[in-house]
Amino acid sequence: MINLNEYLEKLLFDKVVESLPDDKKELYKYVIQMEDEIASVTATGKEYISYLSFNSPHKKAANQFNITLLELLNRMKEIEEEVGRKLIDCMESIEWRDCTDIVHQHLEYEENKKYFFVAIP
């Protein structure tokens, strides 16, 4: 079962990625999807690295976007840093409002549970 923090982080992460300019978003999503697909067919970290070394998928991705491998790696680093900064900003701006008393007044409830309203920017 996914916990609330993981769910919120994924929600915010997706929101941040979607807010990127189209060129960055397209490159980032392409590379991440490619890496995820490789991870799904390799069983260990060693197999993953071996696959990367043998098949050069990042070089193929660079060719797809008409850039060099070094440009691809630099752009991905910049995009990942930008996503990280924006994700932190989003997480810091979330408002948690304790609504436990209101829920207890108007609804049936479980005794030892807290109820929150989460305002996501």
Q: Does pTM surpass 0.85?
A: no
Is residue 51 within 8 A of residue 38, CB to CB? The reply is yes
Structure confidence at residue 2 as a pLDDT band (50, 70, 90): low
- Give the pLDDT confidence of 10-37 residue by residue, as tens digits: 999 999 999 999 999 999 999 999 999 9
Is residue 12 within 8 A of residue 87, CB to CB? The reply is yes
Is residue 37 within 8 A of residue 57, CB to CB? The reply is no
- Give the pLDDT confidence of 52-75 residue by residue, as tens digits: 999 999 999 999 999 999 999 999
Model confidence at 1: pLDDT above 50: no
DSSP for 28-68, please give it: HHHHHHHHHHHHHH-SSHHHHHHHHHHH-HHHHHHHHTTS-
